[in-house]
Structures are given as C-alpha cells and as structure tokens.
C-alpha cells in the first residue's frame, strides 16, 4: 500500500476542485454582469421610448442598444446559465470536501503505520 499516492491523489483532486470553484465563480460573475447590463439596456430603452418629443433620437438609442446587446451575444455565445454555474459550484465544493477527507485519512493511516513501527 502506497500512502504517498493516496495523499498525492487527494491533493490533485483538491487542486482540480479549486480550479472548478474558480471557474464556476467567474461564470456566475459574468452572468450577473450580463444580467445587470441587460437591465440597464432595458431601462435606457424605456426612458428613450417615453421621450416622444425626440422620436428620432429614441429610434437611434433603441437601435444602438439592440446592436450592443447583439455584439455582447456574439462575444459570449456560450455563457452557461446561472443555475448551471451554481450547481457546478456546489458540486466542486463537495468534491473538494471529499478530497480533503481522503488527505486526512491518508494522514491518519500514515500516523498509525509510524506508531506501529516505532
């Protein structure tokens, strides 16, 4: 039985889980920013539409907002859903906890082996 490989596997798993947590957190942040920007665009469109005295400017603002929304959609075509990112974040957290337990178990086994041999 190789205790070192169990510890090493646990550390590798913990590093993968940490990277997954970071990625899921970044996805959540991107989605929140995109949602906030979409709300601002809608708010700007509503303000522009309410101003009937400046109808030409309203049309230009709506067109510009639509173009900017389309440009953001082209830049980030495959953004994951917020719920998917939250589920992945929770999954990676559980994965990290499991790897920490495996490292702790390998440490306890190694301690027991040392105690038996001394």
Tokens of 71: 């440009």
**pLDDT on residue 111:** 83
Give the span between the Cα atoms of 86 and 24, in whole angstroms: 7
**pLDDT on residue 56:** 58
Between the alpha carbon of residue 35 and those of residues 31, 53, 79, 88, the distances in Å are: 6, 30, 12, 19
Mean pLDDT by runs of 10 across the 118 residues of the chain is 74 93 92 86 76 56 60 56 91 94 89 75
Q: What is the pTM of this model?
A: 0.61
Tokens of 70: 């389309």
Tokens of 83: 């719920």
CB atoms within 10 A of CB 34: 16
């Amino acid at each position: 039985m190789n205790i070192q490989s169990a510890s090493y596997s646990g550390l590798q798993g913990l590093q993968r889980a940490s990277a997954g947590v970071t990625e899921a957190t970044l996805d959540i942040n991107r989605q929140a920013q995109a949602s906030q920007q979409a709300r601002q665009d809608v708010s700007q469109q509503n303000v522009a539409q309410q101003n009937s005295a400046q109808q030409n400017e309203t049309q230009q603002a709506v067109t510009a907002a639509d173009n900017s929304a389309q440009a953001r959609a082209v830049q980030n075509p495959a953004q994951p859903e917020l719920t998917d990112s939250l589920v992945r974040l929770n999954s990676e957290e559980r994965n990290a906890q499991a790897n920490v337990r495996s490292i702790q178990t390998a440490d306890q086994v190694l301690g027991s082996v040392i105690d038996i041999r001394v």
